[in-house]
Each structure stands twice: as structure tokens, then as C-alpha cells.
Amino acid sequence: MRRKIAVIGTGYVGLVSGACFAYLGHKVIGLDIDEEKVERLKRGEVPIYEPGLDRILESALKSGNIEFTTDYAHAVKNSDFIFIAVGTPSREDGSADLSYVESAYRSIAEHIGDDDFKVIVNKSTVPVGTGRWAKKFIAELLRQKGVKEPEKRFEVVSNPEFLREGKAVEDFMKPDRVVVGADDREIAGLVASLYEKLQPAMLITDLPTAEMIKYASNAFLAAKISFINEVANICEELGADVTVVARGMGLDHRISPHFLRAGCGFGGSCFPKDVKALIHTAESVGKEPELLKAVIDVNERQKLRPVEKLLKHLPELKGKTVAVWGLAFKPDTDDMREAPSIPIIRELLKRGASVKAYDPVAVDNARRIFRKELEEFGDRLKFVPDKYSALEGADALILVTEWEEFREIDFDKLTGKVVVDGRNLWEPSVLRKFCTYESIGRP
């Protein structure tokens, strides 16, 4: 059934969800406070790099099923379901910063009146307890402006998003499961019905359980990565090969082969912040989340493993040039949030090296992130337009992101260099014919 949906926030999650809901036939309004972004979206431009999103959006725009606005009055008035998909970044203390979510609730509440009933759906990842808190918060805002029976004017539902950047459209269209949490089961059912064309595995729960499913899932995946990285570091000392160890483990269906790739750590907008937020939540209720803390500590150390390996061969980096391949936190995205390339490049600069960095799509974001370093270190940090220019005059190469274009390369160009493969992309026996080769957890 065709429903009227507003999506608040048109970032990775909001834009993909909005475009996909429109593609499924719903009538969607995408709202953002970023006017420039909204102008670009109105012209059909996709402001992020996400494979397949341009086609879905183009078709949604053509069918007239999606429009973009900065106007909350218009979005709230013309929708029955209002999805919140704004950012929930980490605060200094690791807790989730809910200021964007709170601001969205305030803007929505301004436009809810006596005759309305709106379903407000949290798609943003919000700490356990946020949904129930939001119900009181929004009701109070409505009460203050004189709305009659404020609790009856809306319901809050949790519908956490599990999509992966780089595969976001595919993940939205073919989800492993859709989780809907609400105090009112009938309304949870209505939200679930928005996805009915996808025929997903559906789990309907209460509000806090749905919120916890999201955090527990991300924390578990992050733990798998830190686990295999720790095993990799032990393998190195014992002559075992972590890639084969992981294959052997993954054949056990209780373990599964996914998220068992050793490397230079996880980054991105979700795993680090969600694990830290869960740690914060646990501590706020008097629990000591030792395992979760170790997941973060292991990962922070792992991000600098490539530099440690480089130092084995080039103990003095002052005056040396290091090429860095890959800046995004993973392939097929331009997202650089918490990317291992950030501490790696900072460490190289601090040690006096010059850095020539290349990424197929993330350079614009990198220039913003390294603005201070570009000013401070001048010529010592350069972003170059292709992978081979990065190698010109370089003493070493660190591969940080396993973009497909790095798999098949002209290995002759690596001759005489120290190569640290932070993602175990290449075959050691092949690479050692050309260069001094290091990887993660392989003899």
C-alpha cells in the first residue's frame, strides 16, 4: 500500500532509505537542513558516492515519488510516517550526541497539531532508552504549545538500519531482517508493512529491544574484527597464516566466514561510535563492559600496525616518501570517518616522512579532514590523481583500503620499495619477487 513518508536527514542512510521507499512506490519527502545538499538533490545529483543510488534516485524522481525540501512544515504536513535519519556522532566521552535527533524532534513537534497523528520512526542509531525518552520529550513539547491530548498525536517507533555503505542499496532492498520496535504493536505492524514488497524476515519487538539489537549487532561484528586482528598478531610470532586460520574457522557454520579478515582495523561512521556508545550506556547502568573496551583498544592499536611494520625496514622516516593507497574507511565509499588512513598519515607526517596519498573517490573528504596538516606540513602531504603517481619517488607503499583497482597492478612499479599491505590483498610469494613485503598475520 502506498504511504506518505518523510525522511529527515538525507545522508547515507536517509537518502538511500528515501530513494528506496520511493522506488518501492511510496510517496517520499526527503528533508535536510543542508540547503546546498537539497538543491543538488532537487537537480538529481547524488551528493555521496554509493553504487547504484544514482539509478534508484533517478527513477524515483522521474516517477514523481520523491521530492526534497528544507521545509519542515511541508514535510510534516504531507506525511504520516516521519523517519529520523540524522547523524548521532560520538561525543568526547564516547556517548552518542543526540543533539541532531533532538533538534529534529523539536522541528517536527512545531508542526503537529490537534488533529494529527504521526508515526515518528527512529532510523538513526540511538542509545537504548531514547525511544521512550522521545515519547515524553515530544509530548511535553506539544503540551507546551497547547496541543490537546499530546500523547495521542504521535507514536515513536524504532526501526534501526543495518545497511552497509558501498552496498547500501542492495542491503536496503534485500535486508537480512527488518527490526521494528514499538510499545504499540499495531503501529509497529504499520511500519513493518512499509517493507512488505521486500518480504523480509521481520522481527517486531518493544522499543528498547529494537534499539539494543542494533548496538549488539554492530558491537559483535566489530568484536569479530578485533578478534581476528589479535589472532593475526599472534600468528605473526608463531609462523601461522591468519588468512588460512580464518578460512578454517569460517567453515564452521557457528562462526561463519564473514568479518574475519585481518587488517589494519575497522573505521567508518558506525562501528567505532556504536561500540563506544554501548560502553557508555553500559557504564551508565553500573556495568563494566570489559570485552567492548578491549574491542576498541585492540582496534586503535591495529590501525598503526602498518607504520610499525614500515619502521622495521625504514627505522628513520625523516626525508623518506611514503605512498598511501586508499583513504576511505573501506572500498566503494567516499566516507573517511574514523578511517585507519587518518592516524597512519598523521603518524608518518609526525615522523618526518612525506606522504603521497591516492584514493579513487575520497580525496575531497580527505582534504577537509587533513586541512590542518595541509597547512602545517605544506608540501609533505600531497593527494595525487592516480595510484602510480603516488609511487613516483616513493620509498615505501602502505595499502590501507582494498579498492578493487589495487588488486591487479603492475608489480614492476613496486621494485625496490618497502610495501606494507594493510589488507592482505596480495600474494606474499608474488610480491616478494619485487619488493620488501609485509602484510598482516602472514608468515
Ligand X SMILES: NC(=O)c1ccc[n+]([C@@H]2O[C@H](COP(=O)([O-])OP(=O)(O)OC[C@H]3O[C@@H](n4cnc5c(N)ncnc54)[C@H](O)[C@@H]3O)[C@@H](O)[C@H]2O)c1
Cell numbers found for residue 318: 625523516
Cα distance between residue 130 and residue 120, in whole Å:
12
Nearer to ligand X by Cβ, of 282 and 314: the residue is 282
List of residues 6+ apart from 128 with CB closer than 8 A: 208, 211, 212, 215, 281
Locate 215 and state its grid cell: 548496538
Contacts of the segment 138-145: beta carbons below 8 A, 24+ positions apart: 138/105, 138/108, 138/109, 141/105, 141/106, 141/109, 141/110, 142/109, 142/112, 145/109, 145/110
Residue pair 409/209 in contact by the 8 Å Cβ criterion: no
Place of cell 582494498: 402
Give the CB-nearest residue to ligand X.
11
Q: In terms of Cα–Cα distance, which of 428, 405, 334 is closest to 12?
A: 334
Shortest reach from residue 280's CB to ligand X, in Å:
14
Q: Which residues of this protein are in contact with ligand X, per CB under 6 A?
A: 8-14, 31-34, 37, 85-88, 100, 103-104, 124-125, 161, 163, 165, 269-270
The smaller minimum CB distance to ligand X, of residues 161 and 241, is found at 161
**Between 223 and 231, whose beta carbon lies closer to ligand X?**
223
- The least CB distance from residue 405 to ligand X, in Å, is 22
- DSSP symbols for 111-138: T--TT--EEEEE-S---TTHHHHHHHHH
CB of 189 to ligand X, least distance (A): 23
- In 10 A of CB 52, how many CB atoms? 14
CB of 158 to ligand X, least distance (A): 12
Kindly tell me which of 124 and 439 has the beta carbon lying closer to ligand X.
124
Residue 70 or 209: which CB sits closer to ligand X?
70
Cβ 275 to ligand X shortest distance, Å: 12
**Chain-centre distance of CA 221, in angstroms?**
13
Cα 217 to Cα 270: distance, rounded to the nearest angstrom: 11
At 325, list the grid cell: 593507497
Question: Rounded distance, CA 430 to CA 434, Å?
Answer: 8
20 is catalytic: no
Element holding 187 (H helix, E strand): helix 185-193
Q: For ligand X, give the closer residue by CB, 31 or 231.
A: 31
Which among 20, 264, 270, 435 is annotated as catalytic? Answer: 270
Cα 245 → chain centroid: 27
Widest CA span of the chain, in angstroms? 77
Pick between residue 125 and residue 226 the one whose CB is nearest to ligand X.
Answer: 125
Catalytic annotation, residues: 270
